[in-house]
Structure 1
Amino acid sequence: MRLLASVQFGRIAFSRYALPVIRPVDHIVAGDEIIVYVGAAISISSYQQVVAYEVDTIDHRTRLGWCVIVTGDAEFVSDPAEIDRYHALLTGHPPEHGDRIIRIHPDIVTGVEYVDAASGR
């Protein structure tokens, strides 16, 4: 979770009409949960569903870096106070009509680090 907290953007993967969808989104880490701003344009089901969330930092020149993938249940944040607080942290402005925030409860966390084989770093 420390690596996830070190970057602001990631990619959420979910199923819509039985087809895979992947979208870039903003996130924050709150305790052991990932809070994701999905706005109004991303159509995640209104009921709880399993999603994957991927975050990475890879240097395009050296091809070194890391990748973390989290799989878990996602649910919409419905408490108005939480929505206001998370929205401000994620976007810096008040919520607009239709904006949505989801909470991901990690069940599986995997990762890989891309290191220089010669130096081990």
Structure 2
Amino acid sequence: MDTDAATDHSGLRVMGTDECLERLGATVIGRVAFVHDGEVVLLPVHHVMHGSDVCFRTSGSSKIEAAADHDPMSYEVDDYDVSTRSGWSVTVTGTASLLDDDSAVADVESRDRAPWTIGDPALSVWVRIRPDAITGRELRAS
């Protein structure tokens, strides 16, 4: 184990922003969290990175409403290996908005390597989470 690596209060290795962005870019499925009608909603979605922004396509009205209102939204990806008891987690917190720039939409659609079946794509929109914070932690096998 790298004894020079920064750790948090529980001994997990703290990942830098660049490493967090690499892991976000290498992962296609995560969980989006937001508040809708006073309740916390946590849903799995697939994502595409656009710079440091997390983008996902949806036809679900609650996510669209949250994005249209520029509400706070969080996104999390992770991985865990049971056999080695090691894993990591990256969390993005920021503001949601609809991705409506044609060139940005074309970019994320061209790199969308794991689209979920969502019905008619013409009825869906891309939501962007513009990060205020990107954090990551890693549990290394001992």
- Per-residue CA deviation, residues 65-117 of structure 1 (Å, 9 max, x unaligned), is 11001100110111344334423432399x62321111111111121101123
Which structure is higher in RCO with an 8 Å CA cutoff and minimum separation 6? 2
- 1:36 is matched with 56
Which of the two has higher C-alpha Rg? Answer: 2
Tell me, yes or no, if structure 1 residue 79 matches structure 2 residue 101: yes
**RMSD (Å), alpha carbons:** 2.1
Tell me, yes or no, if structure 1 residue 97 matches structure 2 residue 122: yes
- Per-residue CA deviation, residues 31-86 of structure 1 (Å, 9 max, x unaligned), is 1211122x212512222111010000111333311100110011011134433442
Tell me, yes or no, if structure 1 residue 20 matches structure 2 residue 40: yes
Q: Distance in 1 between matches of 2:106 and 2:124?
A: 11
Q: Distance in 2 between matches of 1:57 and 1:13?
A: 18
- Kindly, what percent of the aligned residue pairs are identical? 29
Of Structure 1 and Structure 2, which has the larger fraction of its residues in helix? 2
Aligned length: 115
The answer for unaligned runs of 5 or more in structure 2 is 1-20
Q: Distance in 2 between matches of 1:84 and 1:34?
A: 15
After TM superposition, the score normalised by the length of structure 2 is 0.71
After TM superposition, the score normalised by the length of structure 1 is 0.82
SS in 1 for 2:62: coil
The one-letter amino acid paired with 1:52 is S
Q: Distance in 2 between matches of 1:47 and 1:67?
A: 28
Question: Does the aligned pair in 1 maintain the 2:73–2:96 contact within 8 Å?
Answer: yes
